[in-house]
Chains A and B, each alone.
Chain A
Amino acid sequence: MQVTRDFSHYVRDADEGLRHIDLAVEGVHCAGCMAKIERGLSAIPDVTLARVNLTDRRVALEWKAGTLDPGRFIDRLEELGYKAYPFETESAEVAEVAASRFLLRCLGVAAFATMNVMMLSIPVWSGNVSDMLPEQRDFFHWLSALIALPAAAYAGQPFFRSAWRALSAKTTNMDVPISIGVILALGMSVVETIHHAEHAYFDAAIMLLTFLLVGRFLDQNMRRRTRAVAGNLAALKAETAAKLIGPDEISQVPVAAINPGDIVLLRPGERCAVDGTVIEGRSEIDQSLITGETLYVTAEQGTAVYAGSMNISGSLRVRVSAASEATLLAEITRLLDNALQARSRYMRLADRASRLYAPVVHATALLTILGWVVAGASWHDAIVTGVAVLIITCPCALGLAIPTVQTVASGAMFKAGVLLNAGDAIERLAEADHVIFDKTGTLTLPDLQVMNAANIPADVFELAGRLALSSHHPVAAAVAQAAGAKSPILSAVEEAGQGVRATVDGLELRLGRPSFCGAEALVGSAALDPEASVVAFSKGSDRFILSVRQGLRPDAKAVIAALKARDIGIEILSGDREPAVKAAAQALDIPEWRAGVTPADKIARVEELKRRGTKVLMVGDGMNDAPSLAAAHVSMSPISAAHLSQATADLVFLGRPLAPVVSAIDASRKALHLMRQNLWLAIGYNVLAVPVAISGVVTPLIAAAAMSGSSILVMLNSLRARSASREIV
């Protein structure tokens, strides 16, 4: 059967006869990797560009049209030791990138204007206390206006637009007081300059915009980064399917290019990427990602299969059905929608702070003006003082308090192997006080492990591993990996649904079902784990039994103990059978567990805990966990999780250990603590500065010093989030 790979979905035209493709690459993390990949790919003739982006873990490639098959790049990367997947940029990510660039441009303009206006302000401040002529001062003020007004008009756009949107929707947000403050400060300064006054606030207004833009940019950049991570995760899921395009010809196409009614081939060891019905073939399928059940299910003509199922033994032909027909998926999707709606009601710390902020500030300014008029001051002086109050209370430090901590903390979490999928995940994770773990794939490793390798002679085990390389069966893959086998036995023949056999040095080797190897007697006699799959190996007349099962994550026990030490409640909710869940719970010393739980039951349990006021962290990987991941206060998934779960989870952790769960909780608690501290710093600054402003003695110098002082203090405090502790016990 002929197999072709179709990447045309991902390739786009670059300029002048060049073609472009973006690949997401796993495992790039240093200069060596970058150089290796770029050299390796550039060496292919006709490649004009090969550039690694280390931040996003992607490679951009360009080549002369019509000369190369993009599949070659992926093969070449595979030879170099990297797994690559074609990558399609989502429109949401494009928008985030554009927004991020626009903010950076605004920031550049505002920073330029601040520096130059400040250059003109300092002579005025020192001149006001010495011998500056009024004409010189006016000249400097006019020059400041010339720089500050156009710069503020450009760099203020993000704030003005958002404020306008809020006002036209008859609500208010943080940008309304900011815009009012900036516009009033600039307007008043122009009027004061016309009247040859001593003080103008051009510097304060533009500096305010600069600091706020720093905060906005950091926030946006984090959002862009989480979006890029989510995009890569989608690409790494390798969502391709083998579509039958002729009676004997298949093409490996992206799932997006598959329509209902198409027929796809599902080979042993492949994960199904579509929902559909089996029309031909017979096999066992592993639905643990969907239901949590670790026992294999028999699939034959008429059986419904869902995206995420792993095909174990035989080839299947599957007719693709529309997603809505798949009852299980439809059910999960419905639960997911409900749960997501509930979660969007969470209000972020920054929003809560800003909702209090605007009315207080505007009331203070108004009272100041009225108070001074009542006290006998002229309207002009009273308004100048009122504007000074608005300038001094402008939420410079407030705007930086949260994004700076988030940026630093997300960097620290990234180093600990945790990727953020949602911007407000840090705040919600910090509040979690109860953790629900799924068992299969979360507490246990997603791949299978050989449990009794120590009981088998090393040379025999190695031979079994080499033989196993010739099979696609996941159990065989586990044997090959455990044995560290590299070179396959060339003469090996796979018998579908039975096993693999080969003849080496006149001895027949067989690996597969016990019956296939004539080892039924051994299975009967050996007292083996009821959960394990048994595979037999025969070498000549010697027979061996290998027991293969999902093992617990290496540090699961330490992590559970560490969570207990932090006074966090723990329980297991699993869709798996009772003995399996019970065994895991006992091994990990978790008293609370439930087995055979359906997705709806999981949600019910989460809701019950919610009603009791518990903030639940759900850690799960299966499709059956997706609704409860969304329903929980905050959620986490391992990188091996089903696509749907990963997209729903707030955080994704990498690698085999479970430790990132604890590191993430620690890092986020520390971050939330720092955010609160920063907010208090910002409020404390206002409490000190506002009386000074109300009393009317604020000069532009005091405003500038107070503003930059508080902002720098907040930024320095945020940097403390960097030292997230790695120790978990």
Chain B
Amino acid sequence: MEILVILVPLALMLGGAGLVAFLWSLRSGQYDDLDGAAWRAIADDEPPQEAPLKR
């Protein structure tokens, strides 16, 4: 059961990391526009710049 000494703090640290990540994402405004974020994921990238024609 000594393994608990490692496992319990480890589990709490992982959970705490998740919480910090959530608070960070909240602070950086990632939940401000949920509808837009859904669309952005499937939006096309910028069209590639057309190379000037050379002859």
Contact = CB atoms under 8 A, between A and B. Distances in A.
Interface of A: 30-31, 34-35, 39, 52-56, 101, 104-105, 108-109, 112, 115-116, 119-120, 136, 139, 143, 147
Contact of A54 (B12, B22, B33, B42): B33
14 contacts: A31-B39, A31-B42, A31-B43, A52-B33, A54-B33, A55-B35, A101-B26, A105-B26, A109-B19, A112-B18, A116-B11, A120-B8, A136-B4, A139-B4
Given A35-B43, A53-B36, A105-B23, 8 more contacts: A54-B35, A55-B33, A55-B34, A55-B36, A101-B26, A108-B22, A112-B15, A143-B8
Interface string B25-42: 010000111111001101
A109 B46 CA distance: 39
Contacts of A34: 36, 39-40, 43
| Most chain B beta-carbon neighbours within 10 Å: one of A39, A109, A112, A147 | A112
A-B pairs with the 10 shortest C-beta distances? A54-B36, A31-B39, A112-B19, A53-B33, A31-B43, A54-B35, A55-B35, A108-B22, A116-B15, A55-B33
Given A105-B23, A136-B1, A147-B12, A53 B32 contact: yes
Contacts of B40: 31, 34
Contacts, number: 55
Interface residues on B, range: 20 to 34
A52 B36 contact: yes
B50 interface: no
Nearest to A58: B33
A56 B33 contact: yes
A407 to B, nearest CB: 12
- Chain A interface mostly helix, strand, loop or mixed? helix
Nearest to A108: B22
B19 A108 contact: yes
A104 B40 CA distance: 23
A120 B26 CA distance: 27
A115 B44 CA distance: 38
A55 to B, nearest CB: 5
Contacts of A53: 32-33, 36
Contact of A35 (B15, B22, B44): B44
B16 to A, nearest CB: 8
Interface of B: 1, 4, 8, 11-12, 15-16, 18-19, 22-23, 26, 31-36, 39-40, 42-44, 46
Contacts of B26: 101, 104-105, 108
A319 B2 CA distance: 85
Contacts of A147: 12
A116 B44 CA distance: 40
A62 to B, nearest CB: 14
Nearest to A97: B32
A147 B15 CA distance: 11
A140 to B, nearest CB: 9
Contacts of B31: 104
A34 B39 CA distance: 9
Contacts of A112: 15-16, 18-19, 22
Contacts of A109: 19
B32 A55 contact: yes
B11 A119 contact: yes
A115 B14 CA distance: 11
Nearest to A101: B26
Contacts of A39: 46
Contacts of B36: 34, 52-55
Contacts of A31: 39-40, 42-43
A676 to B, nearest CB: 29
B13 to A, nearest CB: 11
A54 B8 contact: no
A53 B15 CA distance: 31
Nearest to B42: A31
Contacts of B23: 105, 108
Nearest to A33: B39
B33 A116 contact: no
A544 to B, nearest CB: 48
Given A35-B44, A108-B19, A108-B22, A54 B11 contact: no
Nearest to B15: A116
Contacts of A30: 39
A119 B16 CA distance: 14
B20 to A, nearest CB: 9
A304 B41 CA distance: 54
A52 B36 CA distance: 8
A119 B14 CA distance: 12
A31 B37 CA distance: 9
B39 A54 contact: yes
Nearest to A133: B1
A194 B49 CA distance: 70
A108 B8 CA distance: 21
Contacts of A56: 33
A103 B39 CA distance: 26
B34 to A, nearest CB: 6
A34 B32 CA distance: 15
A389 B42 CA distance: 50
Contacts of A136: 1, 4
Contacts of A101: 26
B32 A116 contact: no
A104 B12 CA distance: 21
Contacts of A139: 4
Nearest to B31: A104
A157 to B, nearest CB: 15
A156 B14 CA distance: 23
| Most chain B beta-carbon neighbours within 10 Å: one of A53, A101, A108, A143 | A108
| Most chain B beta-carbon neighbours within 10 Å: one of A31, A109, A119 | A31
A109 B8 CA distance: 19
Contacts of A143: 8, 12
A39 to B, nearest CB: 8
Nearest to B22: A108
Contacts of B33: 52-56
A235 to B, nearest CB: 17
Contacts of B11: 116, 119
A52 B31 CA distance: 14
Contacts of A108: 19, 22-23, 26
Contacts of B32: 53, 55
Contacts of A55: 32-36
